[in-house]
Amino acid sequence: MKILVLGSGAREHAIITALLAEDAGHQIVAAPGNAGIAADVAVETALNPLDGEAVTEYAIENGIELVVIGPEAPLVAGVADPLRTRGIPVFGPGKAAAQLEGSKAFAKRIMEAAGVPTGRAVRAETLAEAESALDELGAPYVVKADGLAAGKGVIVTPDRDAALAHATHYLAEGGVLIEEFLDGQEVSLFLVSDGHTVLPLSPAQDYKRLLDGDAGPNTGGMGAYSPLPWLPETFVDEVIDTVALPTVRQLAAEQTPFIGLLYCGLIVTDRGIRVIEFNARFGDPETQVVLPRLVTPLSSLLYGAATGELSAMPRPEFAMDTAVTVVLASEGYPEAPQTGRTLTGLEDAAAVPEVTIAHAATVRDEATGALLASGGRVLSVVARGTTFAEARDRAYDAIGRIHLDGGQYRTDIAARVS
């Protein structure tokens, strides 16, 4: 199959790696890709993934049989819509359904209409409204940017002044949500949807804080692991019945079918499962630990969702091993990442058994051939093992062989899992 993957991050590299692992002869093109992706498949650096018409014309002219939209920005921009209108199978919701991620207020409305369990939330458009909501819901304070914020629009803090400062910053870009604090273990569960049927992937847990011990600012994610042995066996079925299917059915009833990847950000509280957030695409870095364990061909799931054929497919199968990923970030991330610094040691790292590297923000210097860091989260080291201890040891062995001046990573990913 000729497949176009839109995006340039570690998530897209992980998707491409999984497609290549099928050994099915897929012809894969990425736009715009990155240095690591370019080493594996063809890239179209000039194709703008935010330009739906340009992407559609490219797909038609090049006989693309499936378009996979990786990041949230093209989804919220509606890139899937012209593709779908022209009859090109596309994995990713249209603009209307992508508001499930693009607007947290929209997501809360859908959850309320569908009866999905979630925390209380108040939308504020002014500083006075934000202050009132903070006082109403109390500490710890949870403040979220209503729109997209690259995983950095959330603050959870006991400090009212810090919460108010965060709200003030994002009020300048639109509204904010002040939410009830929910306490418990967080779980990321991906579900593939064709607008009617949902099929679950394996649960994962990510680490959003920058520093060991869950200290420091929120980031896009500093590591993850899968599966989650501490979850009850009924967990996935409960999420399907109480969260995923009601949400998908509500969107279908509103004539905005959700076709693509429904990311359920969940928390297991003493009152039961609650939804923290929805995303409209694969999560990063959870994708890096979920897809390597996938036994079912990924292409069949993506194409089945894009063409409305999931009801005839069984639940995806996963290997019985474990996976751990550790993110290497640039100095200064997330506030002011230092870019343009040289990366070395990747071949040595990839030589560790059962280790792969998913590039996120890398470029190749045309003059010298050197590999350079071009963003905040630079790459993900992914390791598999028969146990979490084995996978974790391999991941940290590998990342210890990579050199990036000022590079930083957590040393406690999956440390409490056995």
pLDDT digits (tens, 9 = 90+) for 176-204: 889 889 999 999 999 999 999 999 999 99
Q: What dihedral angle (degrees, nearest 10) is formed by the CA atoms of 347, 348, 353, 358?
A: -40
| Neighbouring-strand partners of residue 2 | 27
Do 339 and 326 touch, CB atoms closer than 8 A?
no
The full DSSP string for 177-234 is EEE----SEEEEEEEEEESS-EEE---BEE--EEEGGGEEEE-S-SEEEE--TTS-TT
Average pLDDT value over all residues in the chain: 95
Q: What is the CATH number of domain 183-312?
A: 3.30.470.20
Do 75 and 280 touch, CB atoms closer than 8 A?
yes
Instruction: Give me the CATH topology for the region 120-179.
Output: Dna Ligase; domain 1 (3.30.1490)
pLDDT in tens, 343-374: 999 999 999 999 999 999 999 999 999 999 99
Residue 77: other Cβ atoms inside 10 A: 18
Percent of the chain whose predicted confidence (pLDDT) is above 90: 86
Question: Which position has the token pair 């560790």?
Answer: 352
Do 298 and 362 touch, CB atoms closer than 8 A?
no
pLDDT in tens, 225-272: 999 999 999 999 999 999 999 999 999 999 999 999 999 999 999 999
| Neighbouring-strand partners of residue 188 | 204, 265
407: left (phi over 0), alpha (psi -120 to 50) or beta: beta
- What predicted TM-score, i.e. pTM, was given to this entire model? 0.94
Quote the tokens at residue 314.
């069984």
pLDDT surpassing 90 at residue 149? no
pLDDT surpassing 80 at residue 152? no
Superfamily of domain 322-404: Phosphoribosylglycinamide synthetase, C-terminal domain (3.90.600.10)
Q: Mean of the pLDDT values across residues 112-133? A: 91
Predicted local distance difference test score (pLDDT) of residue 172? 83
Asked if the 2-95 domain carries CATH number 3.40.1190.20, the reply is no
> ∠ CA(59), CA(93), CA(220), 5° rounding?
100
How far is Cα 362 from Cα 259, in angstroms, rounded to an integer? 30
**So where are the chain's domains?**
2-95, 120-179, 183-312, 322-404
Percent of the chain whose predicted confidence (pLDDT) is above 70: 99
Q: Mean of the pLDDT values across residues 139-155? A: 81
- Of the pLDDT bands very low, low, confident and very high (cuts 50, 70, 90), residue 395 is very high
pLDDT surpassing 80 at residue 147? no
Per DSSP bridges, beta strands 66-69 and 2-7 are: parallel
Do 260 and 193 touch, CB atoms closer than 8 A?
yes
pLDDT in tens, 199-236: 999 999 999 999 999 999 989 999 999 999 999 999 99
Residue closest to 398 by CA, chosen among 384, 414, 388, 377 = 384
